Amino acid sequence: MIDKLSLIAVYPEIILLVMGCVIALVDLGVKSPQRTLTYVLTLITLAVVAALEAAYAAGGETFYGFNKMVVVDPMGGWLKCFACLALMVTFVYGRPYAAGRDMLRGGEFFTLGLFALLGIFVMISGHNFLVLYMGLELMTLCSYALVALRRDNATATEAAMKYFVLGALASGFLLYGLSMLYGATGSLNVNTVFNAIASRTVNHQVLIFGLVFIVAGLAFKLGAVPFHMWLPDVYQGAPTAITLLIGGAPQLAAFAICIRLLVEGMLPLAIDWQQMLALMAIGSLLVGNLAAVAQSNLKRMLAFSTISQMGFLLLGLMSGVVNGNQLNTESAYSAAMFYAITYVLTTLSAFGIIMLLARAGHESEEISDLAGLNQRSPLYAGVMAICMFSLAGLPPLVGFYAKLSVLQALISSGLTSYLVLAVFAVMMSLIGAFYYLRVVKVMYFDAPQGANTGVLVAPADVRVVLSINGALILILGIMPGGLMTLCAQSISGIVKTLGT
């Protein structure tokens, strides 16, 4: 018998699963090339699920279902709520783009997106190794299919093949590492593994061996160096709407699975995995920023930008516990959570502009395609400028506060090595400012070229959402306290329940 509490824990997942199947069936009768009915039903579903998750998270309670295989807590609730909102925005931006590229012959864009979100939900709520892995595979399998959605496009098919092969390799790493942990601790439950490691009765060498494979698998999902090789090719090769779907909500799931495995499951091994994260953070900041400078393709540049941004996220994750002292734990992990959320918010807006510029037969993916955008539309040029300034970390935008909070967590640890890392991160940000500001320069100071000279017109829903998206980047930079408090309270709930 399934108890009532277990059912309550998975109500949002049940709604997503049922509505995903219902929408797939309803879509069979939809004749509109815009898939209007499918689109509306999808947005309604996402809005309902987001509201339900927000209600769960606002309650502030933590409870478990299915014999502690699933957890409902404020962190999971807010991350799932934001993932729903990110997917809603992706569909709003992506529908006109997809319709113009014959990607809406069926409703796969919407239904596979919903099932990918279901995988994200399972990843965020999973409190058992098998549940976490199932969620990860559901999300990635849907992502592979979405990248290849343009079946007649050789570039998209090639990107899907690369993504599939490298993704399967990373999944194998993660699964092998989890199996090593199971062999060492005798349990698949995250809390039981935490207590077994904390007891110091488990073979340490086996734990470290498994930990290396787990961190490698997580690094692939984050796109961190040296497991970043898939990200630029997939970002560039996939249709832009799918690139945004991959680079948006799944980043929140990647952060969540890092917290579930590394913090809730293996915090007693922090001294070991922090060193791995530090090396990957250094590599990501260095490779991401230097490689991005050389890019002329905007999507590829944003891919390397993502790699460098994940370096900052890793810095937040690695600065939580120093020499067994957990005083810095909540501020560090809440800074990392804040960084993940605000990065997704900025990414949505940037790729929204790229899709808006695209037209029939032309993708507008080169940086030069933005030339004279301010003359065509001051509003959209302003939104893109806000995105670039935020990614560069310039005040008073939210990207500045996100980077500042991570640097504060590093410095407050009191370690000289962490202070050096903070200085290195600032230096890399200065390099990153070059390629972000180059985009702004092209938009405002270069003359429009070729067919990129007409007035830019967007559908009403895209125009409204894009304006709100850009405004939030500015508002949250000026007044970050509310979101930062929400992140701090969410992480506080995680820390209090460690090992229980």
Most confident of 102-106, 264-268, 470-474: 470-474
**258 has a pLDDT exceeding 70:** yes
131-183 tens-digit pLDDT:
999 999 999 999 999 998 888 888 888 888 888 888 888 889 999 999 999 98
Q: Which is higher by pLDDT, 451 or 293? A: 293
pLDDT at 3: 74
Q: Which is higher by pLDDT, 378 or 455? A: 378
pLDDT at 122: 93
How far apart CA 348 and CA 438 sit, in angstroms, is 20
pLDDT at 336: 92
pLDDT range class, residue 296, cuts 50, 70, 90:
confident
**323 has a pLDDT exceeding 60:** no
Q: How many Cβ atoms sit within 10 Å of the Cβ of residue 450?
A: 9
How far apart CA 384 and CA 392 sit, in angstroms, is 12
Rounded to the nearest integer, the mean pLDDT of the chain is: 88
pLDDT at 33: 79
pLDDT at 17: 93
Percentage of residues of the chain with pLDDT beyond 70: 96
329-367 tens-digit pLDDT:
788 899 999 999 999 999 999 999 988 888 655 777 888
pLDDT range class, residue 450, cuts 50, 70, 90:
low
pLDDT at 361: 59
pLDDT at 1: 54
Most confident of 24-33, 297-306, 409-418: 297-306
Element (H, E) at 85: helix 74-99
H, E, C per residue of 332-375: HHHHHHHHHHHHHHHHHHHHHHHHHHCECCECCCEHHHHCCHHH
192-222 tens-digit pLDDT:
888 888 888 888 888 999 999 999 999 988 8
pLDDT range class, residue 291, cuts 50, 70, 90:
very high
Q: What is the pTM of this model?
A: 0.93
pLDDT at 2: 66
Q: Which is higher by pLDDT, 99 or 117? A: 117
User: In terms of Cα–Cα distance, which of 83, 87, 79 is closest to 57?
Assistant: 79
Instruction: Give, as one character, the DSSP assignment of residue 262.
Output: I
pLDDT range class, residue 22, cuts 50, 70, 90:
very high
pLDDT at 114: 93
Which of 40-49, 106-115, 316-325 shows the lowest per-residue confidence on average (mean pLDDT)?
316-325
pLDDT range class, residue 10, cuts 50, 70, 90:
confident
Most confident of 30-44, 79-93, 480-494: 79-93
pLDDT at 424: 93
pLDDT at 454: 67
Tokens standing for 151?
A: 């079946």
pLDDT at 330: 81
pLDDT at 452: 62
pLDDT range class, residue 85, cuts 50, 70, 90:
very high
pLDDT at 318: 87
pLDDT at 500: 66
pLDDT at 19: 92
